[in-house]
Structure formats: C-alpha cells, structure tokens
Amino acid sequence: MAEQEIWLIYSTFKNRAEALSVAQTLLEKRLIACANVHDGVTSLYRWQGAITQEKEVALTAKTRKEKLQATMDEIRAVHSYELPCIVAYPVTEGLPEFLQWVINET
C-alpha cells in the first residue's frame, strides 16, 4: 500500500454548518472517504498580536496521498477564515480493510 498512503486532514471551522458543508463538498468530489465533525472545540491562539480563545468545530477527513493536495486546496478555497488551520498527518498503521475502503472510496 506504499504508493497509496492514507492521510488524515485536520481543520477547524467557525461553526458546525460550515464544517458539514465542507465535508459534504469533499465527499461529493470523492476527495475524501469520510469525515468526522467534532463539536465543542475550544481553540486558543495568537492572532494579530493578541491571544484569542474561540469555540470552533474540528473536522478530521480521511483521504489518500494522491488526493491530499487537491483536498487541502478545496478546503482552502471554500473556508471562511483568512488563515485556516489545515494540516495533514500520514496514517502509519490501521485496520487493513478500513484503509482499503478509504482507497476504494476516493
């Protein structure tokens, strides 16, 4: 499976509606196999010289390496934040059947 590595993409959004909308778009374009939306995230960060605390919604999406850049580009294109958190992590281990499902769905 080396040539089709699975990746997790993590991003945060201002509200649940935006996170769900982005997930739906990514699924429709077959850029991701699935997404998890995590409500109730409290984010603390430094922005424009001030420390800020906000309620956000996090999204974790599963894709394969060859669709990683297109997925991140799509999130960036539709995201409401000026500088959104969009980071990706390689999956190094997992249930083989699940990893194959991600490949099949993307």
CATH number of 11-105: 3.30.70.120
Phi and psi angles of residue 51, each rounded to the nearest 5 degrees, phi first: -85, 130
pTM score over 0.85: yes
Q: With 50 as the cut, is the pLDDT of residue 2 above it?
A: no
- Domain residues of the chain, as ranges? 11-105
Mean pLDDT of the chain: 95
Residues near 37 by Cβ (< 8 Å), separated by ≥ 6? Answer: 16, 19, 20, 23, 57, 58, 59
pLDDT on residue 12: 98
Per-residue pLDDT tens digits for 70-84: 999 999 999 999 999
**Per-residue CA distances from 53 to 42, 50, 78 (Å):** 7, 10, 23
